Amino acid sequence: NDLGYSTGETFPDYLDEHNAGDIIVAGRVAQKANSEGIWARYCVEVLNASLDNITTHDKNGSISGSPYADYLTCYKGGCHCPGAWDRIIGRLPKSKVFCKGGCCSPQSTYQSSWYVGKMPVKLPWLSTPHFPQAYLPWDGKNEGAFYSFPSAGRCPPGISPGDRNCTWRREASYALTAGGKFDKRATQKNGQTILSTKTIMGNAKTLAEQFARAPLRLPPCR
């Protein structure tokens, strides 16, 4: 899969201790990013693990086994337990947004420090610092995902996930300056920012077309 799309605005971004998103999440980032920013596409091989007590993977915040760890918010080269804002973007229930005793258990923190974390994002997009009375109805089809990449789990060159206790490795990558015109429309209401499915999916299509026209004719991630 094309696991990682990210933008560094004026220089290519990287994955270690950073977040990236799939093409749908990239469509949201494009709404607020510099339309002439540098975007990177990464192919990432992830260890097929089976992790327990994972809570950031579905709208109910239920605990289930998963090949991905709980998602972490990464900022300025460090990753930490996601705050309410990010958990609301992931449409987690209130009990998983404002958690008694903290939202990340010691087991969750340990697993997320070694394994790639994941948080699905359903459209339309809602950003707010306050828990909404109700989440916007999901269209039933369009769902993106955020990922977090712990540097401790990254495989050295030539080593596959599962060897030497590493859990992920970056394979092919490509960076380009996206020159397309992105849709910047958003609705502001009661401190909430709402982006329509049309806006995000349109931006995702524009960005995907930029990569499709890349001079090196990028192969799909295997």
**How far is the CA of 82 from the CAs of 72, 89, 176, 192, in angstroms?**
6, 11, 30, 19
Q: Which helix (DSSP H) or strand (DSSP E) does residue 27 occupy? A: helix 23-32
For residue 211, the model assigns a pLDDT of 81
For residue 12, the model assigns a pLDDT of 58
Kindly state the tokens that stand for 125: 């997009």
Between CA 53 and CA 88 the distance in angstroms is 20
Q: What is the mean pLDDT of each run of 10 residues along the chain (222 residues)?
A: 58 80 89 72 90 79 80 90 91 86 88 95 88 84 91 93 93 73 86 91 89 74 73
For residue 16, the model assigns a pLDDT of 92
Residue of 128, 127, 137, 135 whose CA lies nearest to 31:
127
Helix, strand, coil percent values for the chain (each to nearest 5) = 20, 30, 50
pTM summary value: 0.89
For residue 119, the model assigns a pLDDT of 93
